Amino acid sequence: MSVEVTRLSSGLSVVTDRMPHLETASLGVWIGSGSRNERPDEHGISHLLEHMAFKGTKRRTARQIAETIEAVGGDLNAATSAESTGYFARVLKADVPLAIDVLSDILSEPTFDAEELRREQNVIVQEIGATEDAPDDLVFDRLQETAFPLQPIGRSILGTPDTVRSFNPSRLRAYLTRNYRAPNMVVAAAGAIDHSGIVAEVDKRLATFKGPAAPAPEPAHFRGGTKVETRELEQVHIAMALQGLPVRDEQLYSLQVFTSVLGGGMSSRLFQEVREIRGLCYAIHAFHMPFADTGLFGLYAGTDESDAPELMRVVIDQISNATETLNDTEVNRAKAQMKAGLLMALESSEARVGQLARQMLAYGRPIPLEEIVAKVDAVTIESARAAGRALIGRAKPAIAALGPGSGLASTAAIAESLVRRAA
């Protein structure tokens, strides 16, 4: 595989990875702008804009956009996160120019038709309602709000019914103009592609994106706290978070190893102790989400109301113990899992193109596999333990809990004892 990068005069970057054994290609346009870039009166506009890009351009109706790609057997999709928005396609190699044409069309010349906007606002309001009915998803929104209160990074990406319905075509266009700037954009492609051909197409079709970089989002400030919501549910859903590390932090890989040992799979400490030995839950896992200037380390579990306090006590014990007792076998297993995941991603053009886009947005360059593997291999038992100890010494945790009963507050209080124990 051969990774190539070209930076256009506008500031837009093109990165490709040719995978000659494939007959298909995955490609897309990623913008380093997401819900964090929203102003107080723009909650949910990033996600709405992503939807509206597919609802008609000066050259194509919404139906023609879908039919153009599907007529050649391809597919088209998009996704919004806190810090980026991506629009991507997968097609046969002969249809790469067509995919670039469609992607550039929906980004460069959206019409934001008022009637299409009204319908799509209603669709997103239904999506918000579906999330409200899915407590294992909703608890993560509540966790983010608690970790970063009154901040764009702490708000739901979807917005609220009121904010979503408040937007009009001119506000969508203003947000796009402010944030979709060439220096903040990456075109990535992987599979059966030709780098020079893609560069030529992109330079021609995305020339309207220019100007200085978009305004930077406000810095994130992890606060922590507790948000308990009583609901008539079959289970209690609990999520806890501590302040993690930003994506460029030198200790990131040590923390990722710590996270994996603690709750990254069926062999992890939490899965084994909480589920396999004690039978306190069906689902439990730990995670770490790095952002540009902060991070979120956390865990999630769904359990019976009566088991929630014991589960949380076991979780707190496992986190504390792991900072002192991580062993060589566990660390090596976590490192092997991380490296295997990296190699497996290289076998899929979709996974590879997403990986390249994220690297360009975060680091300004594609990161060679050898460099990542070297950083994973450099993690030691002590560096992983130290990463865990630093977690519980930074700030009080954020806790979100949804479910029945009056014992949620006491369960949350057990989680808060983690920082007191560290002190």
Q: Per-domain residue ranges for the chain? A: 2-205, 225-422
Q: What is the pLDDT of residues 264-291, one digit of tens each?
A: 999 999 999 999 999 999 999 999 999 9
- What is the model's pLDDT at position 423? 45
CA distance 98 to 201: 10
Residues 6+ positions from 60 with CB-CB distance below 8 Å: 68, 102, 105
Mind listing the pLDDT tens digit for each residue in 385-421?
Answer: 999 999 987 778 999 999 997 777 777 777 777 655 5
| Topology match between the domains 2-205 and 225-422 | yes
2-205 has which CATH code?
3.30.830.10
**What's the token pair of residue 392?**
């519980």
Task: Give me the CATH code for the 225-422 domain, please.
Answer: 3.30.830.10
Least confident of 139-148, 190-199, 308-317, 379-388: 308-317
Q: What region, left, alpha or beta, does residue 112 occupy, with left being phi > 0 and alpha being psi -120 to 50 degrees? A: left
Residue 343 burial (CB count, 10 A): 11
pTM of the model: 0.94
Q: How far is CA 314 from CA 162, 317, 417, in A?
A: 41, 5, 12
Query: Both tokens of residue 163?
Result: 């904010």
* Percent of the chain predicted with pLDDT > 90: 90
**Active-site positions?**
50
pLDDT of residue 411: 78
Q: How far apart are CA 83 and CA 179, in angstroms?
A: 11
User: Rounded CA gap, 84 and 106, in Å?
Assistant: 17
171 phi and psi angles, rounded to 5 deg: -70, -35
CA distance 302 to 234: 10
Whose tokens are 């506008």? That residue is: 10
Sheet strand arrangement including 225-230:
225-230, 398-403, 236-243, 295-303, 283-290
